[in-house]
A and B are shown apart, each in its own frame.
Chain A
Amino acid sequence: MTEPLLETKLYLPKLRPDVVARPRLSERLRRGAESKLTLISAPAGFGKTTLLTEWLAATPERAVAWLSLDQKDSRPATFWTYLITALQTVVPGVGAAALPLLQSADAPIEPVLTIVINELGAVPHDVAVVLDDYHVVESPDIEEGMIFLLEHLPSQVHIVIATRADPRLPLARLRARGELVEIRAADLRFSHDEAATYLNAVVGLDLTAANVALLGERTEGWIAALQLAGLSMQGRADVGGFIAGFAGNDRYIVDYLVDEVLQRQPDHVRTFLLSTSILERLNGALCDAVTQRHDSKAMLEKLEHGNLFVVPLDDIRDWYRYHRLFADVLQAHLLESRPDEIAALHVRASAWYQQDGDTSEAIRHAMAGQDFDRAADLVELAIPVMRRIRQEATLHGWLKALPADVIRVRPVLSVGLAGALLSVGEFEGVEARLQDAEGLLQGNGIGPANRPAEIVVANEEEFQRLPAAIALYRAAGALAHGDVPATVAHAQLVLDLSPEDDHLPRAAAAGLLGIAYWITGDSRLEAGHQAWAECVAGLYRAGHIADTFGCSIGMADIRRVQGRLGDAMRTYEQALAHAGAHGGPTLRGTADMYVGMSEICRERDDLPAALEHLRHSQELGEHLGLPQNPYRWRVAMAGVREAEGDLSGALELLNDAERVYRGDFFPNVRPIPAVRARLWVTQGSLEQALAWAREQGLSATDDLSYMREFEHVTLARVLLAQHTKTRDAAALQSAIGLLQRLLEAAEEGGRTGTVIEILVLQALGAGAVSDGLVPLERALTLAESQGYVRIFVDEGPPMALLLRAAAKDGIARGYVRRLLAALAKTETDRPIDQGLIEPLSERELDVLRLLATDLNGPEIARSLVVSLNTVRTHTKNIYTKLDVNDRRAAVRRAGELDLLPKR
C-alpha cells in the first residue's frame, strides 16, 4: 500500500445527542447480532450509519470492528488489509500472519481468509464487523472473498453491511436459512411519530400535527430531507409559509432544501462549503490551503455543531467529511455557479496533499484540476516507490489518465508507461513508448543544464537510469516473444549500463539472462546457472528475498541435469536458510523448495525423507507455493509412488498434474506426457507409449536439441521396450543409434545427469551382458559420489542381472552391493500371490500394514500423505476383500494370509 493506514477509516462514529430513538429498529439489529449477516440497504441519507451508531452506543461492551469503505478499497489487497486491521482493533493480532500474504500481486484470497477464520474461531466472545458504504466496493474478486468468508464464518462472528445497493452476495440463500437480517428503506423512513419527535423535540420547532404530516408526505420520511427541512426552519419566522411552499412544489427535495440552507448562511460560510465540497475528507489545514483562510478548523467545528452535515472521522476533531448527499448538492452548485474556480481549488488541494506526503490524493486532485503537468511531475516522482511496492497496476492507471502529449515530452514517464504495460501483460505500444524516450535522449547531454527545452524531467535519478531501464524492458519484451538472442543482447546491455550498486535492474537482467541461457540449453547451462546466481545475489542485496525462490528452482534444476545432486540439494537448503535468516513471515516459494528436495531424496532412495518433504510442502499450503508448485508436487509424489511399486497411483497423480499445470517463463523441459509415457513403459502398456511417440511426432532420426532431450530419451526407452516385447530388431537398432547421438550431445553440453541415464539404457540394450558392463561401469563411476540409486533400481530385474555380473567383475563393489540390496527390497515388498479372490491393491496393502499398528485414522492419513476420506475408502475395501467387519479381524486375517511384513 502506498499510504499508511488511515486510522479514520476504522473509527467508530460517536452517537450525536440529537438522535431519535428507534426501538423497533434496534430490536432488529439486536436479532442481527445473532445472525451471520445484517444488511442495511437503502439510498443515501436514510440514516443507516446513524442507526448503527445508535446500536453501538446502546451496547458498548460488544466487540465491534468498524470499517468505513471508500473507492480505493475496490483494490482487493487494500480491502482485505483494512478488514483484517479493523478486526485487530477488537481481536489483537488476528490475521497477523495473513497480512504479508496480501502483498504479492495475485495472491489467492482463500488461504488468507482461512488463517483469519481459524483464528476468529478461537475467540471466546462475539465479534461484529461493520462495513459501511459497501456499495463503493465493486470488485468481483472481493465479492468472491466475501462469499467465502460468509460460508466459513465462525458462529461468534457477525457481519454487518451498510450499503446503498444490494451486494452481490447469496442473499436469497442466507434469507432461506434464517441467517440474514435486513433493514431496508421502508424500515428506515421516519414514521409520522418519529418525524414529529425529531422536528419538535430534537430540532426544537413547534409544529402542528398537520404540518408534520405535510412534511412527512413531501419527504416520504426521508431522514436527510427532514434534517435539511429542520435546518431551514430553525429561527425562521414564517414556518407555515415555508412548509406550504416546500410541500407545494416538485423540486428535488435535497436540492431545494440545501438551497434554502445555503441561502441562510453568511457569505463566507457559503463560500467555504462550496469550495471544500471537492474534498473527500476535510481538516483544518487542508481547508485553509483550499479556501485560503486561516480559521478552517474553527469553521468545521462550528459546522458540526450546527448540524450542517459535517461528520467527524475521529475523536480529536481533526478530520471530517461531508455527508454524501450534501456534498453532491454542493458540488452541483459549485459546478454551476463558479465553474472557473474549480481547477484552482483542486490544484491547491493537490499541493497540500503533496506536502503532506499523500501522493495518490495529490495526483487525483491534480488530474481533477486538469493540471496535467503537476500530475505528471508527481507521477514521475512516485515511480520508484510504486515499482518497489509492486503497485504497477495503479501506476498504469495514472499513466493512462495523462494526455499522450504530456507523456511524450517526459522520457521518464514514457519508459515508466512501457514498464507498466509490460507488467500488466499488454505488449502493444511498449516499443513505441521506448522509442519516444530514446528519441529524446538521443545526443543530448545528461545534465539539466544542457537539456533541450522540450524535454521535461521531474525525477533526475530515474532519468539517469533510463538507458538501462529501456534495455531491461526490451529484454523482457524479447523474452516474451521468444527471441533469445535479442533477450541476451539487451540484458547484457543493462549490466553494462547499470552501476554496480544498482541491484534491482542488474538482478532483473541477470534473471532474464538465466532464462535465455536455459532455453538455449545445449552448451549454455552453466552460463544460465551463473546468471541466476548473480540474480539471486543481487536480489539479496536489494532486500527482495521473495523473488529468489524462482531463481533457486532454476538453478537446482540445472544442477540436477548436470548430475550434481549434492549441489542441487544445497541450493534448496541455502535458499531456505537465507529466507529463514532474513526473518519475517514465511515466503511464497518455500513449498517449492521442499518439493525439490523430495525429488533428490527420492533419487537417492530415501523414500521416507521424500514423503516427509512432500508432506511438509503440503502443510505449508498453496499460498506459500509458486504457481507451478501444484503440478510439481504431484509429479514428485508420482515418482515416490512409482518407487513404492504403485504404478496406478503414480499415473493418477500425473493425470492430476496435467490438469493443474500452469506454464511460465521457464521452458518445459520435462513435459508430463513424456513422464507418463515412461510409466507406461514400466507398466508394460507399450501401445500407449508408442501412441505418445506418434502424437508428439518423435522419431529416432530427429535432429537433437536440449529442449526435447527428455522426450528423446523417453523415445529410446519406448523403442527398447518394443524390442524386448516383440523382438523387433529394427526398434533395437533405432534405439542404439538414437542413444549414441544423445550421449554425444549430452556429453558436449555437460548434462551428466542425462549421460548417466543414457549409459544405463545402453547397458540394458546391449546384446550380451559383458557388452553392457562397459557403459554400466561408466555410469556407476559418474553416479556413485552423488548418491544416485533409483536411476538403476527403477530398471528392475534386467538391471539386477547386470549388477550381479558387475559385482563378480569387482566393479564398484560397495556401491553395486548397495544397489543390489535396494533392488532386493523392492521385490520382497510386493507379495506375488495374496491368496485372495480379489487381491488388495498397493495402497490398500499400505493402509492394512498401518492398521496393524497403533496409529489412528488421522495419523494413518498423515503418514501416507492422503486425506482421511481416502483412508476410510481403502479401509472399507480392505474389509470387503478380507471378508471381515472390523480392524482387529482385518489384522488377524492379514496375519493368516501372510500379508504383513515380518517383524
Chain B
Amino acid sequence: MSETADATEDGSWDDAGQYEVRLKGHLDPRWSAWFDGLILTEDSDGTTVIHGAVIDQAALHGLLQKVRDIGLPLVSVTRVDPNHPAVHQFDPR
C-alpha cells in the first residue's frame, strides 16, 4: 500500500491518514482488491481489521459505506498516528 502523505502537493494540511477499521467476523484477505487495495488482517478475537492509508474524509466515508453494504458489523474506526503505531498481536490462522 502506498505511503501516506500528510501534506498535499502544495504543502497544505489535509485529512489523509492511516486508519484502522475493525469489523466483526473474518474477512478473507482476497477482499483487499474490493477495498481498493487496503490490507485486511484477521484478528484472534474474531474481528478483521482493514487498515492502510485513506486519502481524505470522503474516501473514509466511502470505505465505511462499502463496509455497510456487505453487512459486516462495524466495531471501531481508529485513526493511527504513523509515528506511534499501536502494537497489535496478530494471530493469523
Contact = CB atoms under 8 A, between A and B. Distances in A.
Interface of A: 43-45, 164-165, 222, 224, 249-255, 324-325, 328-329, 331-333, 335-336, 339
Interface centre among B42, B48, B68, B71 (most CB of A within 10 A): B71
A252 B26 CA distance: 5
Contact of A165 (B27, B30, B42, B68): B68
A324 B71 CA distance: 10
A328 B70 contact: yes
Contact of B46 (A43, A224, A250, A331): A250
A325 B70 contact: yes
Nearest to B32: A336
Given A250-B46, A251-B25, A253-B25, A332 B71 contact: no
B31 A332 contact: yes
Given A250-B25, A250-B26, A224 B71 contact: yes
Interface string B36-48: 0000001000101
A251 to B, nearest CB: 5
Contacts of A329: 70
Contact of A325 (B31, B46, B48, B71): B71
A252 B25 contact: yes
Contacts of B27: 251-252, 255
A164 B68 contact: yes
A332 B28 CA distance: 10
Nearest to B43: A250
Nearest to B29: A336
Contacts of B34: 328, 331-332, 335-336
Nearest to A135: B68
Contacts of A324: 69
For the complex of A and B, 7 pairs with smallest distance between CB atoms:
A335-B33, A336-B30, A332-B34, A250-B26, A43-B71, A252-B27, A252-B25
Contacts of B70: 44, 252, 254, 325, 328-329
B63 interface: no
Contacts of B72: 252
A336 B33 contact: yes
Nearest to A333: B30
Given A250-B25, A251-B25, A253-B25, A43 B30 contact: no
Interface in B51-73: 68-72
A333 B28 CA distance: 11
A139 to B, nearest CB: 15
B71 A44 contact: yes
17 contacts: A43-B71, A44-B69, A45-B71, A164-B69, A222-B71, A249-B26, A250-B26, A252-B48, A252-B72, A254-B70, A255-B31, A324-B69, A328-B34, A329-B70, A331-B34, A332-B31, A336-B33
A325 B71 CA distance: 8
Q: Among A44, A224, A255, A331, which residue has the most Cβ atoms of chain B within 10 A?
A: A255
Contacts of A43: 68, 71
A722 B12 CA distance: 58
Contacts, number: 55
Contacts of B25: 250-253
Nearest to B34: A332
B69 to A, nearest CB: 6
A226 to B, nearest CB: 13
Contacts of A250: 25-26, 42, 46
A328 B69 contact: yes
Nearest to B68: A164
Contacts of A252: 25-28, 31, 48, 70, 72
Contacts of A331: 34
A334 to B, nearest CB: 9
Interface in B67-91: 68-72
A255 B42 CA distance: 14
Nearest to A45: B71
A332 B46 contact: no
Nearest to A327: B69
Nearest to A43: B71
A307 to B, nearest CB: 19
B30 A332 contact: yes
B1 to A, nearest CB: 16
Given A249-B26, A252-B31, A325-B70, 17 more contacts: A44-B69, A44-B71, A165-B68, A222-B71, A250-B25, A250-B46, A251-B25, A251-B26, A252-B27, A253-B25, A254-B70, A255-B27, A324-B69, A325-B69, A328-B34, A332-B33, A332-B34
Contacts of B33: 332, 335-336, 339
Nearest to B26: A250
A339 B34 CA distance: 11
A336 B35 CA distance: 11
B66 to A, nearest CB: 8
A496 to B, nearest CB: 42
A820 to B, nearest CB: 72
Contacts of A332: 30-31, 33-34
A69 to B, nearest CB: 14
Contacts of A339: 33
A252 B68 CA distance: 13
B64 to A, nearest CB: 10
A339 B70 CA distance: 20
A284 B26 CA distance: 36
A329 B66 CA distance: 12
Contacts of B26: 249-252
B21 to A, nearest CB: 14
B28 to A, nearest CB: 6
Contacts of B30: 332-333, 336
Nearest to B44: A250
Contacts of A325: 69-71
B40 to A, nearest CB: 10
Contacts of A224: 71
Contacts of B46: 250
A44 B48 CA distance: 19
Nearest to A222: B71
Nearest to A339: B33
A325 B34 CA distance: 13
Contacts of B28: 251-252, 255
A250 B26 CA distance: 5
A388 to B, nearest CB: 32
Query: Which of the listed residues A329, A331, A336 has the most CB atoms from chain B within 10 Å of its own CB?
Result: A336
Nearest to A342: B33
A575 B69 CA distance: 53
A254 B73 CA distance: 13
A103 to B, nearest CB: 30
A646 to B, nearest CB: 55
Contacts of A164: 68-69
A706 to B, nearest CB: 44
A409 B26 CA distance: 48
Contacts of B71: 43-45, 222, 224, 254, 325
Contacts of B68: 43, 164-165
Nearest to B25: A252
A696 to B, nearest CB: 41
A328 B67 CA distance: 11
A552 B64 CA distance: 52
Nearest to A251: B26
A310 to B, nearest CB: 18
A253 B68 CA distance: 15
